[in-house]
Amino acid sequence: MVTIENWTRGHWEASKIDFPKSVFYLYTPMCGTCLVASKMVEVIAAMKTDLPIGKADLNYVEDLAIDYEIESVPCLLIQEGGKVVHKIYAFHSVPYLLEKLS
């Protein structure tokens, strides 16, 4: 399985400048739903090897939670052209996430 790189807020902000599209997966370690979502994101990362995907424990990027008004975890931020175009909380399925990424 693909290992998704841990990002800081700086990595996320840089990805918004350096890439036309990137994804930031936010979770907390004690969240059961996040464990399931993590598996889905790993599958997406394996399928979309050209898409920069990072992850972070929301406990360590609290300022990002405030600035992006993150309501709950898991949360998937998808940016295009430097702007967040999707903020996904309900992951549903891998095909659903792939549709949001296309």
Q: Say whether pLDDT at 1 is over 70.
A: no
CATH code of residue 90: 3.40.30.10
* Mean model confidence pLDDT for the chain: 95
Question: β-strands 5-6, 21-27: how paired?
Answer: unpaired
- The pLDDT of residue 29 is 94
Tell me the angle at which helices 32-47 and 94-101 cross, rounded to the nearest 10 degrees.
60
Q: State which residues form the domain around 26.
A: 5-101
Q: Say whether pLDDT at 58 is over 90.
A: yes
- pLDDT tens-digit profile of 24-52? 999 999 999 999 999 999 999 999 999 99
Task: Count structural domains, the chain.
Answer: 1
